[in-house]
Amino acid sequence: MTEKPLLSLHRITRVYGQGESEVRALDGVDLDIYPGEFIAVMGPSGSGKSTAMNVLGCLDRPTSGEYFFQGVEVGSISNTARAMLRRNYLGFVFQGYNLLARTTALENVELPLVYRGTARRERQEKAARALAVVGLEGRGHHTPAELSGGQQQRVAIARAIATDPTILLADEPTGNLDSARSHDIMRLLKSLNQDRGLTILMVTHEPDMAHYATRQIHFADGRVVAPKAEAA
């Protein structure tokens, strides 16, 4: 590709512990992610895929190597700047939804806009638009307990896109859903990628969910590896 990467990892390592208890969660990872891609990150438990997601999301720091975000080396910026990067450029979706139980769907979606200091009227309008995008128009006053699991994950996606992030990081977004709801969520993510041009990086262990992505990256033992060839 001639286009410059949106995110780049260069020889990234992440080591926990020392001596005999040392664990190399990431072991020299090189990875480029380009604008508009929908990438599925796959691998067995402990392969390093979630650790890589945490590094990319500025939720963890690598032990060594370089992480570039839009050409800026993230390791060289302050904690305050890293927090601003997360707040202004990254959207997060997790397996467990992470919604506030006693707060309405609209108020949950507003939260990242509150942290940005967005005025009340503007953030309510943006939150309402985000709920409409994920198919929950008219459900803004429902609490999570009044919504199905699939609807709760749609609220979480609305919260992630309400700030117009540069990239959406989704960690096992269908892990708590049945097959039908999982495919509903994947069709929604694919539409956000295709129709809105949103770059998406998704960790999953489910091959049928990974097939919605435009590219698959496989991890094993803390490294990016080529996918295994299917049997003839």
Q: How far apart are CA 167 and CA 150, in angstroms?
A: 22
Q: Is the pLDDT of residue 184 over 60?
A: yes
| Helical pair 105-116 and 120-133, crossing angle rounded to 10 deg | 130
What is the DSSP track for 191-214? HHHHHH--EEEEE-S-HHHHTTSS
Query: CATH number of the domain at 7-225, out of 3.40.50.740, 3.30.420.40, 3.40.50.300, 3.30.70.20?
Result: 3.40.50.300
Sign of CA dihedral 180, 185, 186, 188: positive
Q: What pLDDT sits at residue 229?
A: 43
Two tokens, residue 46: 């402990």
User: How confident is the prediction for the chain on average, in pLDDT?
Assistant: 93
The rounded distance, in Å, linking the Cα atoms of 157 and 188 is 9
Residue 20: per-residue pLDDT: 83
Given a cut of 70, is residue 231 above it in pLDDT? Answer: no
Section 101-123 average pLDDT: 95
DSSP annotation of 35 reads T
Closest CA to 68 of 163, 164, 4, 1: 4
| pLDDT tens track for 70-92 | 999 998 899 999 999 999 999 99
**Averaged pLDDT for residues 125-143:** 96
106 pLDDT tier (thresholds 50, 70, 90): very high
pLDDT at residue 177 in the model: 93
Residue 123 has pLDDT above 50, yes or no: yes
pLDDT over 90 percentage in the chain: 87
Query: Which SS3 state, helix, strand or coil, does residue 224 take?
Result: strand
Beta bridge partners of 10: 66
Provide the pLDDT for residue 19. Answer: 84
State yes or no: pLDDT of 187 exceeds 80: yes
For residues 40 and 211, give the distance between their C-alpha atoms in angstroms, rounded to a whole number: 8
- Per-residue burial over 149-161, b if 16 or more Cβ lie within 10 Å, else e, is bbbbbbbbbbbbb
Does position 230 have pLDDT exceeding 60, yes or no?
no
Q: How many contiguous H segments (helices) and E segments (strands) does the chain have?
A: 7, 10
